[in-house]
Structure 1
Amino acid sequence: MSLSPPGLRRAEPGSDAASGLWAGRPVRPVPYGSKATGRGSWSSWLTPADRRVLQLYLLTRISLWITAHGARWLFPRGSDVREAAPVLAPFQQWDANHYLHIARDGYFPADTGPWMDGWDNREAFFPGFPMLLRAVHLIVPDWTAAGLLISLVAGAVAVLALSRIARAYVPEDADGHRTVLFFLLSPCAVFLAAGYTEALFLAFALPAWRAAQCQRWLWACTLTALATTVRVSGLFLAAAITVLFVLSVSSGKGWRGAPWLALPALPPLAYSWYLHAHTGDWMAWKRAQERGWYREFHTPWEGWSNTWNAAFEGVHTTGYAAMFQVELAAMVVGLALVALLARRRRWPEAVYVALSLWALGTSYWYVSIPRATLLWWPLWMGLAAVSLRRPWFRTVYLCVTVPVTALVALAFLTGRWAG
């Protein structure tokens, strides 16, 4: 299935070209900057294919809500509990509490900050999600419900964008359904439903990528700028779009869109300025990550070694050790993806994933790499392409990932660390 820019020739089912990135043979190189045409253009609204994708999305949301309902009854906190936790309580875990505190109280309430003992390092989190959460809370009084609503709507936008990108990259996935299925049943899919940033980030990042493929640089960079308000990963996306722009220029396109490439840097600069005004530190968000999550710089081999020890040397409880094992597996998947993207000369996508791996793989140990896989859209399209060329692969994928997805969801919904 050809993972090539939109508007290019189709491959016949079962042919070598039909598996693109994951094929055994190279596919004919394709020029960058091709205009998207035909099916999946952004000028259309909801097509029958879009509606099928949304139906799949809603069905998987129902599955997660059923899991959450069961978790609060079957796995309560305490051995002698007589009443289940509130309906939405399973989703208000870990980082969701940070976003709630920022949205409700701000970053530095009552002159508190990192100079105090017991500080929660909330400035490590970019302001896009908390700002939107505060706005939605004006309409939805319950903070948890407001966060879930943001992720529900943003996730719908994200899967629609992913399916339309997949139709262009993987022509045999006619409606993008296969790619979206693999994405929604990925091991960390629960974070798309919780009040976390992944769904909102993808709701900006995937349309930005599609716009960049269509050479709509203003739209691409504006949406990327919005993505950078949500996660630092937006800067990795900006780097990938810059590479895509340079490649399109080298293939004969003009430089007219170049000034827009600076837009994504503005939100992080504004946030750094805000933090400097309150803490005197331009990199206060990075210092907070170092204090709270051991994200001080270490060489990649040190990060791997420390994570390996945490996973297999018995220094942590079995729950944490299992999560570190998943971190290692996710790093291996990421490295393989970068290697395959580079082999196929998909340089923009390779840059995007490689920067993500560098940022997450140069800490004391690995944290949140499995969640980051949700943001690697070439992975889900590549897996879909493989499954279309080798039908048995879908069965293997579902048999392996569905139980893992359920276990990660239960771990998160019951308050255990899940990345």
Structure 2
Amino acid sequence: MSVMSPRSPEKAPPNPPAPPLPAVPRPARRRLRLGTEDRDVLWLYLLTRVALWTTAYGARWLFPADGGAHDPGPVLAPFERWDWGHFLNVARDGYFPGERGPWDPEWDDREAFFPGFPLVLRAVHTVVPQWTAAGLLISFVAGGVAVLALVRVARLHLPDEGAGRRTVQLLLISPCAVFLAAGYSEALFLALALPAWLAAHRRSWPLAATLAALATTVRVSGLFLAAALALHFVLTARGRADWRPLPWLALPALPVALYAWFLRARTGDWMAWKHAQERGWYRHFHAPWETWATTWESAFDGGMTTGYAFMFQAELLAMVVGLALAALLVRRRRWPEAVYVGLSLWALGTSYWYQSLPRATLLWWPLWIVLAAWTLRSPRFRTAYFCLVAPLSTLFALTFLTGRWAG
């Protein structure tokens, strides 16, 4: 009979420890959080919004339509300009209210505007009853999404630290940046187009095509984006498996086809959108050199009032910048971006005269990436750029906010 030592009592074996929960991969965790650069960009975005709203407030008091006014008018009135009226009319009343349409001599040609922004505006209006406030909220949220996406697009091309922040900075102080704050479609388009571009670079073609289709509901520029995505697909496809998502690339054409069908059912005209553009904005086809000549005459021959002449000068400058950008993209063999910018230049550069070209520069994200690279590498260029662009941005903002034609 054995005697057990009191120091080593017999024990039951301990329970095995529970298996640890699977850890969340670090990359996934990072995607759920905003980085330092993202937070800096959002802070910059908020500050520039405050600056524009402050400018709008001052414009009401200092530059009223009636020089002898004692009441500055509604606080949101500076943002109720030009295209906003068309978006509002479509969102509030539809495209053809009361059986009115192109056959009406007083018609406003509202079918020239794609339905994406008005549909979102109508939806937001159910929560925000004031129409202008609803439009500003859409642009505010969409602009925040767009600048975060632009940071990531810039990182695809620029290795410099802070390149994304600088690219966003250049966009937000650009001459026509006021349109990103107004109830216009540019911010919403960028909030869809830039993530589509990112998805394409990650070869997530169904997502890229879906986002491009949504962008096409907002602006016809979505078709230019779709063409660039298609070229990017062709240039990067290697094996047979890479070609399987090809049918997705037809998706961005669907909104245009549906909109044309809708207009055909109401007006009997498959090309009602184009004809509205021609009636309201002189977008009849002209050879590029004829368009340049007409715009040049409007800018410098004294036939236009000074305000319109100045804006036609801005149109000419925007065309020069666009052509230089397209040439640079071709030289660097960035073919998809060159197609995107080139189609935009062709569409806007073959009308009776140039119109809305300065505003279109907001959608040319390769421009802001190229400029960011130059300003990061040359302090003198950075200083010169900011000194020249800052007053132009103020002039364009005041021009728009006081009801004059801008961009």
Cα 1:275–1:41 shift into 2, 3 Å: farther
Which amino acid is 2:383 matched to? T
Q: Which amino acid aligns with 1:119?
A: W
User: Partner residue of 1:197?
Assistant: 185
Matches within 5 A, 1:153-192: 153-174=141-162, 176-192=164-180
In the alignment, which residue of structure 1 is the partner of 2:379?
391
Counterpart of 1:236? Answer: 224
Find 1:323's aligned residue among 308, 311, 316.
311
- Does structure 2 conserve the Cα–Cα contact (< 8 Å) formed by 1:294 and 1:364? yes
8 Å CA contact 2:285–2:350 kept in 1: the answer is yes
Residue identity matched to 1:381: I
Q: Which residue does 1:3 correspond to in 2?
A: none
Question: Where does 1:363-402 land on structure 2 (aligned, <5 Å)?
Answer: 363-402=351-390
TM-score (norm 2): 0.92
Q: Give the letter aligned to residue 355 of structure 1.
A: L
Residue identity matched to 1:356: S
What is residue 292 of structure 1 aligned with on the other side? Answer: 280
TM-score by length of 1: 0.89
2:55 counterpart of 1:63: no
Q: Deviations over 1:123-161 (max 9, x none)?
A: 000000000000100000100000000000000000000
The CA deviation at 1:250 is 4.9
Q: Residue 103 in 1 paired to residue 91 in 2?
A: yes
Change (3 A) 1:168 1:253: farther
* CA distance in 1: counterparts of 2:299 and 2:61, whole angstroms: 30
- In the alignment of these two chains, the number of paired residues is 382
RMSD of equivalent CA atoms:
1.6
Distance in structure 2 (CA, Å) of the matches to 1:162 and 1:144: 26
The 8 Å contact of residues 272 and 283 in structure 1, kept in 2 or not, is answered as yes
User: Between Structure 1 and Structure 2, whose CA radius of gyration is higher?
Assistant: 2
C-alpha distance in 2, partners of 1:186/1:154?
18
Query: Does the residue aligned with 2:198 lie in a helix, a strand or coil?
Result: helix
CA distance in structure 2 between the aligned counterparts of 1:41 and 1:229, rounded to whole angstroms: 33
Provide closer, same or farther for how the CA distance between residues 39 and 408 of structure 1 changes in structure 2, counting only shifts above 3 A: farther
Q: Deviations over 1:251-270 (max 9, x none)?
A: 88720110100110001110
In 2, Cα distance between equivalents of 1:207 and 1:41: 20
**Residue 54 and residue 111 in structure 1: after superposition, are their counterparts in 2 closer, same or farther (change >3 A)?**
same
Distance 1:376 1:145, change over 3 A: same
Q: Residue 53 of structure 1 contacts residue 160 of structure 1 at CA under 8 Å; is this kept in 2?
A: yes
Contact 1:40-1:164 within 8 A present in 2 as well? no
Stretches of structure 1 lacking an aligned partner (at least 5 in a row): 1-37
Superposed, 1:209-288 pairs within 5 Å as 209-250=197-238, 254-288=242-276
* 1:74 to partner: Cα distance: 0.0
Q: Which residue of 1 aligns with 2:65?
A: 77
Aligned CA distance change for structure 1 residues 252 and 328 (closer, same or farther; 3 Å) = farther
CA gap of 1:398–1:404, structure 2 versus 1, over 3 A, is same
Q: Of 135, 144, 147, which aligns to 1:147?
A: 135
1:48 aligns with 2:46: no
Match of 2:13 in 1: none
1:44 CA displacement = 4.0
Could you give the per-residue CA deviations for residues 92-147 of structure 1, whole angstroms, max 9, x where no partner exists?
Answer: 10000110010000000000000011110000000000000001000001000000
Amino acid at match of 1:190: V
Higher RCO (Cα < 8 Å, 6 or more apart): 1
Aligned position for 1:305: 293
What 5-or-longer segments of structure 2 have no aligned partner? 1-25
Per the alignment, residue 131 of structure 1 pairs with: 119
Q: Once the two structures are aligned, what percentage of the paired residues are identical?
A: 67
1:249–1:255 Cα contact (<8 Å) kept: yes
